[in-house]
């Protein structure tokens, strides 16, 4: 029998007040891994009360900066000590290959350290307002934060929000995705052992309508930090408007990858494939629209096909695996429907990789790497986020043409440009309307650098100093001197 795992509110482990549970799956096999509480509005209310009380009583925001920093550093050490166990949970719950899960855990620990460091360096300003007065600008925590995260990087996305929110002095209610609550539920013990006062960090498990939405509506929440679908992001922004809650939205994209004919193909081919196939393509910044300069198009198609065929699908626990299953049966169906739509709209299939043959994996949610050429300009496969390992290859002739094509999207999260001419790389990088542009690489998102979208990819930034500022208010203190 799969184990039952409680959620964590106000320093206590509890079930849902409605007594409802959610099944959590292992996507590699389709087997049920555990059951977690399916939180209801009353549970969300309890979590908001706990976070509000902890904030208003000052147990966290008014703690000495160096003491707060110490707690986050200690939490980072505990994450590192539990590296293997956390990675194993992430693999069995999310399906990703072990080496990727280990990298996620390491970066989660680093995020705690990175933001712990900021706590003792953050400062305000003194402004020139004449000889008779003094203006102080203070940075204060926003208050109670609702962190709503998706299932593609369960621990890492949680930490991208939780670490800076705590560093800012906020209290937090984390709602992991219903598909992937397992690593989030390891965090309370870690923070408790590190000395975080109770009520400062809470985890509410449940689905979007049952747990996420009551959190968004709750009057005690000051700030919502959300990563997920465009559709839910728009809904959250609408609901948040009623009480003017602060909102940060990271809503994915349909990012371009441009290969100029002078590119170093030894790097561009594997880099382009990683940009679409990494994490099973379940990446908000997947550079899935690949544009290739005319003269090298046929060669690139062939090289990409060879590279795609090297991908080994399987369980994330198998060291030979380079691509795991998708997160769920419904995500698999969704991606397969996009593949079908591409064919219906006239695109030609170049390659579709092999599915795992191991009978133990027959219940898993696998979709093989899929590459198309000839997709129509505004067809679904070119305009909508697939969130699976599906690439389209499209020809271009001039720089200005490919810039127009790259920008022909409602999204603006990221882009990759491959060229040996640095001036061209920079020119194209500046011309693309996206929050991140990689030149001669795809996908790195260092924790020190800002991350977020232009256009409908969202607004606000995560990571870096900007990621901390999302959880800070600005106060002006004016003092009359004469």
Which positions lie near ligand NAI, rule CB under 6 A? 148-150, 152, 175, 177-178, 207-209, 212-213, 216, 227-229, 232, 235-236, 250-252, 284, 334, 385, 387
What whole-number distance in Å separates Cα of residue 475 and Cα of residue 169? Answer: 15
**Nearest alpha-carbon partner for 395 in 305, 264, 290:** 290
Give the Cβ contact number of residue 454 at 10 Å.
Answer: 18
Taking the complex as a whole, the smallest distance from the CB of residue 481 to ligand NAI amounts, in Å, to 48
Which residue number, 215 or 263, has a Cβ lying nearer to ligand NAI?
215
- Judge whether 170 counts as a catalytic residue: no
Question: To the nearest whole angstrom, how small is the minimum distance from the Cβ of residue 149 to ligand NAI?
Answer: 6
Q: H-type helices in 407-446, by residue range?
A: 422-431
- Which pair of tokens denotes residue 344? 């219906």
Question: How far apart are the C-alpha atoms of 250 and 226, rounded to whole Å?
Answer: 6
Six token digits for residue 334: 């969704």
Minimum CB–partner distance for residue 290 and ligand NAI (Å): 18
Which lies closer to ligand NAI via its Cβ, residue 198 or residue 287? 287
Q: Give CA–CA dist 39/203, Å, rounded.
A: 10
Nearer to ligand NAI, 19 or 209 (CB): 209
CB-nearer residue toward ligand NAI: 155 or 303: 155
Looking at the Cβ atoms of 46 and 300, the one nearer to ligand NAI is: 46
Nearer to ligand NAI, 227 or 447 (CB): 227
Looking at 113, 213, 250, 469, which residue is catalytic?
250
Catalogue the E-assigned strands of 74-123. none
Residue 250 CB, nearest approach to ligand NAI (Å): 5
Which of 284, 293, 307, 470 is an active site residue? 284
Report helix, strand or coil for 431: helix
Please indicate whether residue 250 is annotated as part of the active site: yes
Nearest to 248 by CA among 153, 164, 139, 181: 164
Q: CA-based Rg of the chain, rounded to a whole angstrom? A: 23
**Pairwise CA distance, residues 335 & 150, whole Å:** 17
Min dist CB 208 to ligand NAI, Å, is 2
Q: Is 206 left (phi over 0), alpha (psi -120 to 50) or beta?
A: left
Cβ at position 96, least distance to ligand NAI in Å: 14
Degrees to nearest 5, angle at CA 354 with 350 and 359? 160
By annotation, the residues acting in catalysis are 250, 284
């Amino acid at each position: 029998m799969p184990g039952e795992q409680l959620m964590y509110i106000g320093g206590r482990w509890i079930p849902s007040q409605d007594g409802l549970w959610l099944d959590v799956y292992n996507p590699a096999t389709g087997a049920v891994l555990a059951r977690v509480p399916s939180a209801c509005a009353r549970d969300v209310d309890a979590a908001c009360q706990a976070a509000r009380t902890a904030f208003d009583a000052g147990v966290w925001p008014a703690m000495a900066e160096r003491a707060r920093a110490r707690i986050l550093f200690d939490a980072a050490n505990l994450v590192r000590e539990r590296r293997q166990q956390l990675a194993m949970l992430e693999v069995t719950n999310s399906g990703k290959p072990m080496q990727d899960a280990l990298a996620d855990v390491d970066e989660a620990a680093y995020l705690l350290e990175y933001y712990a460091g900021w706590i003792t360096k953050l400062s305000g300003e003194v402004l020139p307002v004449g000889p008779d007065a003094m203006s102080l600008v203070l940075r204060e925590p926003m208050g109670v934060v609702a962190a709503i995260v998706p299932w593609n990087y369960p621990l890492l996305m949680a930490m991208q929000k939780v670490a800076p929110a705590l560093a800012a002095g906020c209290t937090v209610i984390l709602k992991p995705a219903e598909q992937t609550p397992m690593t989030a539920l390891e965090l309370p013990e870690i923070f408790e052992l590190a000395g975080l006062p109770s009520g400062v960090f809470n985890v509410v498990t449940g689905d979007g309508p049952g747990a996420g939405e009551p959190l968004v509506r709750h009057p005690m929440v000051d700030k919502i930090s959300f990563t997920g679908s465009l559709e839910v992001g728009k809904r959250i922004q609408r609901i948040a408007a009623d009480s003017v809650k602060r909102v940060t939205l990271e809503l994915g994209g349909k990012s371009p990858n441009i290969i100029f004919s002078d590119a170093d193909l030894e790097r561009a081919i594997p880099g382009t494939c990683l940009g679409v196939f990494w994490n099973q393509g379940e990446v908000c910044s997947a550079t899935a629209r690949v544009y290739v300069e005319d003269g090298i198009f046929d060669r690139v198609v062939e090289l990409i096909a060879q590279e795609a065929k090297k991908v080994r699908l399987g369980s994330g626990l198998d060291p030979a695996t380079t691509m795991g299953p998708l997160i769920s049966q419904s995500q698999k169906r969704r991606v397969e429907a996009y593949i079908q739509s591409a064919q219906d709209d006239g695109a030609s299939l170049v390659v579709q990789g092999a599915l795992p043959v191991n009978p133990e994996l027959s219940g898993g949610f696998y979709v093989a790497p899929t590459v198309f050429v000839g997709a129509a300009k505004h067809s679904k496969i070119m305009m909508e986020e697939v969130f699976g390992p599906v690439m389209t290859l499209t020809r271009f002739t001039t720089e200005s043409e490919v810039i127009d094509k790259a920008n022909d999207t409602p999204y603006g999260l990221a882009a990759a440009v491959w060229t040996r001419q640095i001036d061209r790389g920079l020119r194209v990088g500046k011309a693309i309307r996206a929050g991140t542009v990689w030149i001669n690489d795809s996908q790195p998102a260092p924790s020190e650098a800002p991350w977020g979208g232009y256009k409908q990819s969202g607004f606000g930034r995560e990571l870096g100093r900007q990621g901390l500022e999302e959880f800070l208010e600005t106060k002006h203190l004016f003092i009359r001197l004469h």
